[in-house]
Structure 1
């Protein structure tokens, strides 16, 4: 999988019979939206902890010296593979400002650790252009193909930090899948649920942080 990891969903995609629109890789996440003193979004800090099944497959693929652990060099290689392969998917990051999608920059580095048989990933991304804390902003982490399920265990795992953010109303939105399907039955077709590349409409199902400033 080391060479077949253009995205983290490669594990599921490697078996054609599993190419269905439901998750096969699971991760718990924390997202910190950092506001600068200038009133703009400075960066988004991510922590992802992957499930043991996916983590064990990563161990097998990147444990070059077969000592059943990932040393500093092996972890750095894994981080660079992720940094490169997730670029086309915006690092599973979605940001909107008053409904308009905003891009993020490629992170300088993705740090990886292997702790208690689980891969943990740490990295920060910055908005591609200046993003002021004005109007309604939303921030989420999701895989539009829905092969990777990214969960925020508590609402406190989605936070906004910085003095400029204190003036904003914060809300964590956790959509109900049944309600989303019922409300969008005309557009959520069989093609949507079976498209392995995913669609932008999958963000309807994603947990997100909303800031109203």
Structure 2
């Protein structure tokens, strides 16, 4: 197996549920990420982009080094990091890069990021990228923004409310809140829906457990 094939297998297996050995494997997290999300608005009151930073757990990061360290120097640099970013960019399109937006109840698709930057700091993989709505998104009514894996294979967490922020004067007309659902309350309120089918294919319900930025604008 050459370096590019090995790289694709390593990252795609971590991010793409279709490559898991069984459906039930996606019902609980295998990869853990600390995230930061900056929602940026332009001067005309439209969402310009969502700036993402993801820091992966040390165990997963060490496995990435093993698969991407093509020159065997026990670190990732240059083309090795570029290869990681390119592979994630190609593999997560069907999942909107785990970046979820609703516009007055309707899901909003994202453009493919121009580039996903990868780096290694203190033994942890970092990914940086900016995502843009596929169509103009006005700050009007009720919008939500979140970052989560709908398959539950990757646990994406915001350590504090300060890790989800807005940027731009257009947000001054809006009320903002960070929603952190209580898992016990979600389960109690949705017991009928949380059947065995959910745990083998959690895509439709996983959003109920996700931390979100809730925006309500005039």
Q: Same fold, TM exceeding 0.5?
A: yes
1:1-213 alignment, distance < 5 Å: 2-4=7-9, 5-6=11-12, 8-9=14-15, 19-195=25-201, 198-213=202-217
- Unaligned runs of at least 5 residues, structure 2: 1-5
More helix per residue: 1 or 2?
2
SS in 2 for 1:192: helix
8 Å CA contact retained: 2:26, 2:151: no
Q: Which moved more, 1:13-22 or 1:33-42?
A: 13-22
CA separation in 2, counterparts of 1:91 and 1:21? 19
The verdict on how the C-alpha distance between 1:67 and 1:31 changes in structure 2, with shifts beyond 3 A counting, is same
8 Å CA contact retained: 1:107, 1:123: yes
CA separation in 2, counterparts of 1:162 and 1:79? 28
8 Å CA contact retained: 2:24, 2:200: no
Shift of 1:7: 5.5
The verdict on how the C-alpha distance between 1:17 and 1:102 changes in structure 2, with shifts beyond 3 A counting, is closer
- Unaligned runs of at least 5 residues, structure 1: none
8 Å CA contact retained: 1:7, 1:86: no
Tell me what 2:3 maps to. Answer: none
8 Å CA contact retained: 1:7, 1:85: no
8 Å CA contact retained: 2:47, 2:133: yes
Shift of 1:18: 7.6
CA separation in 2, counterparts of 1:200 and 1:16? 18
CA separation in 2, counterparts of 1:141 and 1:17? 22
The verdict on how the C-alpha distance between 1:137 and 1:30 changes in structure 2, with shifts beyond 3 A counting, is same
List per-residue Cα deviations over 1:50-106 (Å, max 9, x = no partner): 000000011111100010000111000110000000111110011001111111110
CA separation in 2, counterparts of 1:128 and 1:67? 40
List per-residue Cα deviations over 1:136-181 (Å, max 9, x = no partner): 1100000011010000000010011101012211100000111111
CA separation in 1, counterparts of 2:52 and 2:204? 21
Shift of 1:8: 3.0
